[in-house]
């Protein structure tokens, strides 16, 4: 294995390991809400805290490895730097893990000030350890973003080249200097990612200052803005990172070529801005927030649908339409991931409408839509990347019967699991309730059945992946 | 008033439509393949329409729905102008609310919502169990939430922002008559 592949697999396998653990916590939480088991609120909220942060980090790790690997194919990138970023993130994950189990930290992965410090049922060291963990994850993430940004800048001739500016505005842009679509994506993710990482370290530093010296006071509205900017953009960027290999994969499976066009570059500039300002929708119900920001939040959330559907999804659909598509598990995961992204996006657009948000804010509608594009989108993209690698290496793919089994259990289970959230959310069941009011427990029991079916499907996916990985390499790299 | 139950069918219809289109695209790979040079120009033409419809549509929805935004008028003078308004203080604290037990029907109420400790949410559920209004309860800030109750009965208040281990048990209620 080349060192580039090794880096890819270290990231991917760690991401999947973290995902697996967090999935078990997710099922346990849903079973608690269904009243099948009773861990009690202390454990429930500890699990919620860990699941939220852990899951986002797990797909971020897959994204970082995947996009780094794609960039590595474009030019020289230091594997050491990538592993250093990885080590920081993993250290952060370990710190967060320790703060929650055994530390008992349960202020939520959104750790809204002053909750980590008020009415805490956990020891002060757990709060500190959690905050240090957040700082380490942010630091590792920022380091990765700087590496990617520096790479795109040197590889494609500075800001004008890497951003696609020269392509859009200069007639004489040299064709070899035009970044491929995944590199435009990488550039945008890196720029937004640096802002995100800075925000994470800013709020982390502020809270650590308060932790060390409680006389340091923080404005709760400021803290909310910075925290949600960090959390929203970090989660959002996991999707945009994955698009890098969705472009590459769709082109490969359809045998068609996907080039950077002016429209694609402009769409990514729009995304750069929307990722940074859409987070205001998390503060819709803070009526004291400066009013124009609420409008900016709604418009940015709405308009982010344009680059997403008109460019990324549209472009992928055109590649597939009446092509010689090879339908393997890899391409099926990439394609269904696009469906999950769009469907979750529809749920998000409804929730981003302020009059509707008035009735949906902090109900289960919120986990409903984000699980649709994180579980049914980003996570499937990650599986798509993994299978794409395995299929390419072995020159084989999975038999049709197995594809049907995986399809029915994985996608069927996912749909049932997600519908439980949607139905409950539309009926006003609050999110983050260990004990839910009606019809919460009923929808939670359907959802738990769905999640167990999904677990079963993913077990098959895992076993099949191991089988493919053990086949002799036909295309060793 | 409660829009929640309406959202679900709208979502399901839109989601089904999107899925149907994408599945049709997937199924098209069973037909005889076309060269990409033939697919691309038509696809780009169609995309122009999608771009226009989506942009205009989304901006129009924003503009048209502005009157339904739940925010109070920006200027205090506008508040005072509605002289029949009843101002009601709500204080949230881990894990309960301080509030009156009876409120009037068909009268404009402005809740002045704040918190003594962490962030909470002040979510009002009507007698049928649907959310009809909510606002955040923040320490150091007061949020003004205008509401007019048009249905008599027992309303439940639930905390709608995670506020600690007792979050799910943080509720209260009032009668509207
Ligand atoms: C694998 C199946 C999964 C299950 C069974 C599951 C289950 C759950 C449950 C029960 C909740 C709590 C909902 C509530 O009452 O508010 C939750 C919250 C959450 N989940 Fe998942 N989940 C899964 C996958 C994922 C994935 C793939 C991601 C992201 C990549 C994710 C990210 C989150 C986040 C960010 C929260 C919010 C935590 C919070 O409210 O602070 N989950 N999940
Ligand atoms: Cu609460």
CB contact under 8 A, A426 and B5: yes
Residue B80: per-residue pLDDT:
57
CB neighbour class for A460 (10 Å; exposed up to 12, middle 13-18, buried from 19): middle
Residue among A220, A229, A221 nearest A200 (CA): A229
Residue B73: per-residue pLDDT:
87
Contact B119, A223 (CB under 8 A): no
Contact A344, A377 (CB under 8 A): yes
> What pTM was computed for the model?
0.96
Contacts of A100 in chain B (CB under 8 A): none
Considering the four listed CATH numbers 3.40.50.300, 1.20.1250.20, 1.20.210.10, 3.90.105.20, the one that applies to the domain covering A81-325 is 1.20.210.10
CB contact under 8 A, B22 and A342: yes
DSSP A410: I
Ligand 2: centre distance to CA A428 (Å): 15
- Written as one string, the DSSP assignment of B19-61 is HHHHHHHHHGGGSPP--HHHHHHHHHHHHHHHHHHHHHHHHHH
Ligand 2: centre distance to CA A414 (Å): 29
CB nearest to A362's CB, from B22, B62, B121: B121
CB contact under 8 A, A320 and B25: yes
pLDDT at B4 over 80: no
d(CA A348, CA A318): 25
pLDDT at B107 over 80: yes
- Written as one string, the DSSP assignment of B75-92 is SHHHHHHSTTPEEEEEEE
In chain A, which residue's Cα lies nearest the Cα of B34? Answer: A322
Ligand 2: centre distance to CA B161 (Å): 5
Range B110-125 average pLDDT: 97
d(CA A194, CA A201): 11
List B110's β-bridge partners, or say none.
Answer: B87, B146
Confidence of residue B77 (pLDDT cuts 50, 70, 90): low
Confidence of residue B3 (pLDDT cuts 50, 70, 90): confident
Q: How many CA atoms lie within 13 A of A213 on its CB side?
A: 6
Contacts of A304 in chain B (CB under 8 A): none
Residue A235: per-residue pLDDT:
97
List B92's β-bridge partners, or say none.
Answer: B97, B115
- The mean pLDDT value of chain B amounts to 93
Residue A477: per-residue pLDDT:
57
Residue among A231, A234, A233, A207 nearest A219 (CA): A207
Residue B153, phi then psi, degrees to nearest 5: 135, -165
- Residues having CB closer than 6 A to ligand 1 are A 23, 26-27, 29-30, 48, 51-52, 55-56, 59, 108-110, 367, 371, 374-375, 378-379, 431-433, 451
List B148's β-bridge partners, or say none.
Answer: B108
Asked whether the bond before B95 is cis by omega within 30 degrees of 0, the reply is yes
CB contact under 8 A, B18 and A110: no
H-run or E-run covering B137: strand B131-137
Sheet holding B96-98, edge to edge: B96-98, B86-93, B108-115, B143-148
Q: A372: how many CB neighbours lie within 10 A of its CB? A: 27
Q: What is the pLDDT along chain A (477 residues), one digit of tens a residue?
A: 678 999 999 999 999 999 999 999 999 999 999 999 999 999 999 999 999 999 999 999 999 999 999 999 999 999 999 999 999 999 999 999 999 999 999 999 999 999 999 989 999 999 999 999 999 999 999 999 999 999 999 999 899 999 999 999 986 666 667 899 999 999 999 999 999 999 999 999 999 999 999 999 999 999 999 999 999 999 999 999 999 999 999 999 999 999 999 999 999 999 999 999 999 999 999 999 999 999 999 999 999 999 999 999 999 999 999 999 999 999 999 999 999 999 999 999 999 999 999 999 999 999 999 999 999 999 999 999 999 999 999 999 999 999 999 999 999 999 999 999 999 999 999 999 999 999 999 999 999 999 999 999 999 999 999 999 999 888 765
The residue whose C-alpha atom lies closest to atom 6 belonging to ligand 1 is: A26
The residue whose C-alpha atom lies closest to atom 7 belonging to ligand 1 is: A26
CB neighbour class for A399 (10 Å; exposed up to 12, middle 13-18, buried from 19): exposed
């Amino acid at each position: 294995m080349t060192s580039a592949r090794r880096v890819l697999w270290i990231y991917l396998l760690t991401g999947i390991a973290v995902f697996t653990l967090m999935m078990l916590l997710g099922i346990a939480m849903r079973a608690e809400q269904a009243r099948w088991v009773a861990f009690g609120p202390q454990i429930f909220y500890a699990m919620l805290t860990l699941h939220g942060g852990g899951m986002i980090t797990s797909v971020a790790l897959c994204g970082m490895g995947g996009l780094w690997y794609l960039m590595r194919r474009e030019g020289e990138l230091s594997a050491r730097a990538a592993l250093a970023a990885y080590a920081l993130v993993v250290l952060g994950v370990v710190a967060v893990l320790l703060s929650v189990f055994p530390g008992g930290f349960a202020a939520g992965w959104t750790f809204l000030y002053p909750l980590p410090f008020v009415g805490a049922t956990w020891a002060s060291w757990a709060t500190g350890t959690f905050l240090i963990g957040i700082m380490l994850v942010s630091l590792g993430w920022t380091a990765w973003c700087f590496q990617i940004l520096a790479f795109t800048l040197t590889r494609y001739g500075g800001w004008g080249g890497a951003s696609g500016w020269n392509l859009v505005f200069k007639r004489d842009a040299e064709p070899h200097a035009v970044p491929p679509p995944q590199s435009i994506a990488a550039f945008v993710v890196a720029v937004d990612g640096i802002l995100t990482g800075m925000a994470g370290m800013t709020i982390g530093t502020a809270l650590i200052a308060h932790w060390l010296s409680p006389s340091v006071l923080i404005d709760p509205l400021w803290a909310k803005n910075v925290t949600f900017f960090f959390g929203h953009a970090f989660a959002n960027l996991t999707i945009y990172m994955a698009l890098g290999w969705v472009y590459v994969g769709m082109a490969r499976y359809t045998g068609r070529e996907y080039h950077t066009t002016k429209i694609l570059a402009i769409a990514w500039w729009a995304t750069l801005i929307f990722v940074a300002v859409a987070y205001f929708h998390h503060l819709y119900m803070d009526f004291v927030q400066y009013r124009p920001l609420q409008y900016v939040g709604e418009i940015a959330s709405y308009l982010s649908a344009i680059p997403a559907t008109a460019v990324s999804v549209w472009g992928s659909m055109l590649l597939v339409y009446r092509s010689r598509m090879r339908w393997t598990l890899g391409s099926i995961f990439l394609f269904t991931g696009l469906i999950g992204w769009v469907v979750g996006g529809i749920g998000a657009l409804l929730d981003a409408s302020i009059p509707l948000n008035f009735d949906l804010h902090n109900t289960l509608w919120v986990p409903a839509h984000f699980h649709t594009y994180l579980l049914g989108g980003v996570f499937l993209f990650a599986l798509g990347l993994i299978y794409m690698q395995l299929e390419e290496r072995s020159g084989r793919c999975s038999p049709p019967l197995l594809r049907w089994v995986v399809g029915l259990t994985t996608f069927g289970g996912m749909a049932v699991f997600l519908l439980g959230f949607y139905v409950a959310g539309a009926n006003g069941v609050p999110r983050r309730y260990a004990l839910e009011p009606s019809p919460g427990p009923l929808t939670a029991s359907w959802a738990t059945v769905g999640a167990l079916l999904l677990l079963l499907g993913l077990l098959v996916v895992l076993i099949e992946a191991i089988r493919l990985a053990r086949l002799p390499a036909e295309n060793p790299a | 008033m409660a829009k929640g139950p309406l959202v679900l069918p709208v979502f399901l219809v839109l989601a089904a439509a999107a899925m149907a289109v994408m599945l049709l695209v997937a199924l098209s790979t069973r037909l005889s393949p076309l060269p990409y040079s033939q697919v691309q120009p038509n696809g780009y033409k169609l995309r122009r329409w999608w771009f226009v419809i989506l942009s205009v549509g989304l901006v129009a929805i924003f503009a048209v729905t502005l009157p339904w935004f739940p925010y109070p008028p920006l200027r205090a003078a506008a508040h005072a102008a509605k002289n029949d308004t009843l101002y009601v203080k709500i204080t949230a604290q881990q894990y309960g609310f301080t509030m009156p037990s009876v409120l009037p029907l068909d009268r404009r109420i402005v809740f002045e919502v704040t918190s003594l400790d962490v962030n909470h949410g002040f979510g009002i559920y009507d007698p049928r169990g649907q959310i009809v209004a909510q606002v955040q309860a923040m320490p150091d800030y007061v949020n003004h939430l205008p509401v007019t109750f048009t249905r008599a009965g027992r309303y439940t208040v639930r905390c709608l922002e995670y506020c600690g281990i007792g979050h799910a048990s943080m509720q209260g209620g009032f009668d509207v008559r």
